[in-house]
Structure 1
Amino acid sequence: MNEEKQVEGAKEPKKIKPSLTPEKAKMLKLRAVLNSSRPRFIRMNSWKIKRLEDKWRSPRRSLDNKIRLQRKGFPPLVKVGYRGPAAVRGLHPSGFEEVIVHSPEELEKIDPTKQAVRIASTVGRRKRIEIIKKAEEKGIRVLNVGGA
């Protein structure tokens, strides 16, 4: 029953593309390639000790840490050389700059050619639907439409 309501009311939003320079488009493709070859940086001993998360922790403070010493057979150390291109750093994979929105009034300040909207997690269903409708009218892309 709940699924039927979603199917009836849900419209497939049209995809709005950003206005990108050819150089930025090329950099986005390069970043995607770099991301695919970038290693997973994991915490020391997270593969041995179950209670440790895989989340990266810097091994800089310990004397004998094999990751810090960059020993063969251990995960790689985070280095600045793994960063993406500066021109597209912080952009959404689509090429838009992400802006978090809490209310429909905040959509007035958005530039639809360069910016896309991400609705804040604290926004309820009613206001979320308002934001989505207003964004469609203005031609602004919403990145997290979800089931609303």
Structure 2
Amino acid sequence: MRKPKFRRQEWHRYKKLGENWRKARGKLSKARRYQARKPAIPTIGYCSPRATKGLHPSGYQDVLVCNLKELENLDPATQAGRIGSTVGLRKREAMLKKAKDLGIKILN
């Protein structure tokens, strides 16, 4: 089952509100009181399964790597690497080549 899009109360009425979710806090708010035919409110029941929680959409565990030694420690079956933003071009190219040899997926 897919999660509904949680949008701010009366987002369609006023352009300045935007669509981003904000909790309804009004005293007589129908959405806050879970009245029928009102948009869905984020609750704990919509959480994702524990098996997939924290995983990248590709299904791999996302691991930040900054050098070749960290890259070699990854498990290609369950983990994928994300090269740090401070890594330079020369080292990045070497890491990409090494990842290809080891069969490790790089996410960026």
Which band: TM-score by shorter chain? 0.7 to 0.9
- 1:68 correspondence with 2:32: yes
The corresponding residue for 2:19 is 54
Cα gap change, 1:50 to 1:124, in 2 (>3 Å): farther
Percent identity over paired residues: 38
How many angstroms apart in 1 are the aligned matches of 2:30 and 2:51? 34
How many angstroms apart in 1 are the aligned matches of 2:17 and 2:67? 39
The corresponding residue for 2:10 is 45
SS in 2 for 1:129: helix
The corresponding residue for 1:107 is 71
SS in 1 for 2:100: helix
The corresponding residue for 1:136 is 100
Give the superposition deviation at 1:141.
0.6
- Which amino acid in structure 1 is aligned with residue 19 of structure 2? D
Unaligned runs of 5+ in 1: 1-33
How many angstroms apart in 2 are the aligned matches of 1:108 and 1:123? 19
- Which amino acid in structure 2 is aligned with residue 76 of structure 1? A
The corresponding residue for 1:116 is 80
How many angstroms apart in 1 are the aligned matches of 2:57 and 2:43? 22
Residues 38-83 of structure 1, C-alpha deviations (whole Å, 9 max, x = no match): 2101112222221223122222x43222221122332101111111
- Aligned-pair Cα RMSD in Å: 2.3
- Which amino acid in structure 2 is aligned with residue 96 of structure 1? Y
Unaligned runs of 5+ in 2: none
TM-score (norm 2): 0.77
How many angstroms apart in 2 are the aligned matches of 1:130 and 1:46? 48
SS in 2 for 1:87: coil
TM-score (norm 1): 0.59
- Which amino acid in structure 1 is aligned with residue 75 of structure 2? D
Count of residue pairs the alignment pairs up? 107
How many angstroms apart in 1 are the aligned matches of 2:21 and 2:41? 10
